[in-house]
Amino acid sequence: MDTGGLADLLQEQDVRTWAELAKKLRTAFEQYLETLEGNTRAGYTEDLCTAYYAFGKPVRIKDGFIGKNIDGTSKAAVGLLEKFMQRNGQWDYLQGREWFRNGDYVVAVEVNYYPDRTGASDRPEFHKDTAGINVFANLIFANTGPMEATEWFADLEEPSAKRAQWQRDNLPADYLKDLRLARAALQGKDTGPVTGGVTKKQYTYVSWVDDLVWHSTPAERRRVKFTAADAQRAYPVLEQTFAGQFEYIDESLQVKVLGAELVRSFADDSNTLLHKWMTEQQQPVRDLETARKAWRAVYQGVDGRKRFDQDVETRSRMTWRITGVYGIANSPDPNLPGSEQILETPAGLSTRKRSNSMKDNQEALEGVREANVGTPRSFIRTWVRLVRKDSAELTLK
């Protein structure tokens, strides 16, 4: 993950280009809203453009809704992003790959405009900005003053079996090898609180390798603290729903308890029986399927409840938090036949504190929230995708 202010990477003229572009996008969106009835800002997004790069060929730009309706917007955005990706090292990586140089894959730089993500979620919802074939993700904000920073932490476990198979079918083998090497190199280097807090940089940017990070729009409410008593209450209900949704609403906590998230939280503690099983079986618990498999092996059958109680007692000795939501690890892509939403449970999240929940950061966060009331949290999001040379997407105008 790399973050800073746009002036840290680009020349003054480039920063002015972004300031002008951000203002133009805001004005156009405000005018567009006036034509709609009952539209809301939070969470709304619109396509700006997609730029296609084939090695040794001129860039081809396909306008989205905004690009078609605001003259010069696509060209300005693409020019800015080319410089941005060169300065942060993304283009150096891509241009040096054999799968790009030999024409097997085309790099698609997809740009979307978010007019306002303020209040997008009640509690933090960690996810990936992926359409299945993403390599990098970039956000460039329109903020001129301090604001709440994007929350994130490293994802250093192998993906779920379903996501891994999808990646093998759609991404270069050498790229997947690079991901495995990166995971190995980063082990043990991101162990503190979930990063967040306040960013004071004007025109903040955030860049990351999508597969290696879970991130979330900052949310004011905290995750739910889980206790031994909560877990004991959960066991019989999850047993009843095991073959179905494997979840229930806990009225006392006012949150959905996901069996998959609870199992993952046991796996996050290296002292539990479930963690031992996961290690011995070389079976990471990432999704509903593997969570059911782990629950069945460890917490059902003879003495299953006894083993559950033992793990509850062990797990309750350290930080224990749940979110009540799955992490979106893969999203459907209309350009990829067969793509689907893949939900996972972020590894390690249950044991980690959030910077935004720490007392030392609360005063600064409250001050920034108050100062930004009425100020849209707007930005452009860039998906850097790898598209097979024979993809139907490349024939669309």
| pLDDT tens column, 335-387 | 888 899 999 999 999 999 999 998 888 899 999 999 999 898 999 999 999 99
Task: Read off the pLDDT of residues 332-341 as tens digits, 9 standing for 90 and up.
Answer: 988 888 899 9
- Do 94 and 48 share a structural domain? yes
- Nearest 10 degrees: Cα torsion 365, 199, 383, 120: 20
For residue 40, pLDDT over 60 is answered with no
CA dist list (Å): 219 to 82, 117, 355:
31, 11, 12
Unique residue bearing structure tokens 């929350």: 151
Residues 235 and 93 in one domain: no
Other Cβ atoms closer than 10 A to 256: 17
Domain end residue (candidates: 322, 341, 376): 322
What tokens appear for 205 in the block?
């940017």
Query: Rounded mean pLDDT of 233-256?
Result: 97
Task: Return the axis-axis angle of helices 273-281 and 259-267, rounded to nearest 10°.
Answer: 80
Q: Are residues 342 and 387 in the same domain?
A: yes
**pLDDT one-digit tens code per residue, 203-224:** 999 999 999 999 999 988 889 9
- Are residues 353 and 314 both part of a single domain? no
Same domain, 229 and 378: no
- Residue 54 shares a structural domain with residue 169: yes
Cα gap 368→149, rounded to integer Å: 10
The verdict on 340 and 317 lying in the same domain is no
Q: Are residues 35 and 177 in the same domain?
A: yes
**The two structure tokens encoding residue 354:** 């959030």
Q: Are residues 242 and 264 in the same domain?
A: yes
Confidence of residue 120 (pLDDT cuts 50, 70, 90): low
Using the predicted structure, report yes or no on whether residue 318 has a pLDDT greater than 50.
Answer: yes
Is 50 exceeded by the pLDDT of residue 35?
yes
- Assess whether 165 and 52 both reside in one domain: yes
Confidence at residue 395, expressed as pLDDT on a 0 to 100 scale: 87
Residue 232 contacts residue 252 (beta carbons within 8 Å): no
Residue ranges making up the domain that contains 391:
2-221+327-395
Q: Do 87 and 191 fall within a single domain?
A: yes
Residue in the structure block whose two tokens are 């280097």: 189
Residue 46: per-residue pLDDT = 83
Q: Which of 278, 293, 322 is the last residue of a domain?
A: 322
CA angle (237, 243, 246) in 5-degree steps: 45
Number of domains making up the chain: 2
The overall longest dimension of the chain from CA atoms, in Å, is 70
d(CA 298, CA 237): 17
Whether 171 and 276 map to the same domain: the answer is no
Query: What's the token pair of residue 61?
Result: 């730009």
Domain closes at, from 280, 306, 322 = 322
Using the predicted structure, report yes or no on whether residue 9 has a pLDDT greater than 70.
yes
